[in-house]
Amino acid sequence: MVGSAILRGLLAEGYRNVVTRGKKELDLRDTRAVSGFFSEEKPEYVFLAAARVGGIMANMESPGEFLYDNLMIQSNVIHQSHLAGVKKVCFLGSSCIYPRECPQPMREEYLMTGKLEPTNEGYAVAKLAGVKMMECYRRQYGLKGVSPIPCNLYGTNDSFDPRSAHVLSSLVRKFVDAVDTGEGEVTVWGTGVARREFLHVDDLADAVVFLMTHPDPPEIINVGSGFDVTIRELAAMVARAAGFGGKLHWDASKPDGMPRKCLDVARMTGLGFRPRIGLEEGIGRTVAEYRERKKGTGKP
């Protein structure tokens, strides 16, 4: 989702000498393969969007895989960027790297000041290591780069797989499927009181291109909308967009995750960047995309 959005953003800005590799073409966990890619292509700017990602269920079931895969991906790419003399690297962090009980809104200086959320600790530890690796390589080797920390992302090319989808796309699938099958009740994980901030992936892509073309961006910078909603509010918005008029059942036996995740985006707005796509508009687009996928394939 993120990589394809960044590619669209670069092409929209007129960049044409862009080299990409999908995970089937290049396993970024393979040190030798990554070294060979850098030797062959000699990139000048690197956007590292690849990562093993997923929702609460996937993170809880496979914490070791989330830790190992992400550590290997980012270590290989950042190190080879240094060896190849890359001019600037963008390493995408995640808002889940902030402490579970972090003061709100979360400012960049709050990183590593408390314990992480247990349900996604493997992923968060790996992403924190990537942010610190970028800092250390800048300090020791002069590697220039930026580590944007986005809030919860959604949008074009999102995953609707119930085992790996994040909360917004998961809700879109639940409500659209319920409408299509005539179900009168939808069950949602948790209590619904947790608060989350959302950003359309196209806005993130614009922010990334903006930061990579900025002459001197901050090393670490939050990227988000600056406001959050409860999961109950989000579910109501998705239900309306999908045309679902039935009942919602909240399964409180399932985890809520972090109580709240809302970013302080003062650094980003101070540079002159603001997102364009509002949450309701973005939800409408996501509902339409999921319906198109079902229509085109007969399944999501």
pLDDT tens track for 242-290: 999 999 999 999 999 889 999 999 999 999 999 999 999 999 999 999 9
Q: Which two tokens stand for residue 90?
A: 């963008």
The whole-angstrom separation of Cα 76 and Cα 165 is 26
Q: Give percent above pLDDT 70 in the chain.
A: 99
Structural domain spans, the chain: 2-159+197-227+261-278
Query: What pLDDT is stored for residue 115 in this prediction?
Result: 96
Classify 57 in phi/psi space as left (phi over 0), alpha (psi -120 to 50) or beta. Answer: alpha
The answer on pLDDT for 299 being more than 70 is no
Mean pLDDT across the stretch 58-74?
Answer: 96
CATH topology of domain 2-159+197-227+261-278: Rossmann fold (3.40.50)
pLDDT tens track for 225-241: 999 999 999 999 999 99
pLDDT tens track for 211-223: 999 999 999 999 9
pLDDT tens track for 132-180: 999 999 999 999 999 999 999 999 999 999 877 889 999 999 999 999 9
Query: What pLDDT is stored for residue 297 in this prediction?
Result: 67
Q: Give percent above pLDDT 90 in the chain.
A: 93
- Band (pLDDT 50/70/90 cuts) for residue 300 is low
pTM of the model: 0.93
The answer on pLDDT for 298 being more than 60 is no
Query: What pLDDT is stored for residue 162 in this prediction?
Result: 84
CA distances for 248 relative to 21, 109, 180, angstroms: 41, 38, 16
Mean pLDDT computed over every residue of the chain:
96
Burial class (CB in 10 A: 0-12, 13-18, 19+), 161: middle
Catalytic site positions? 123
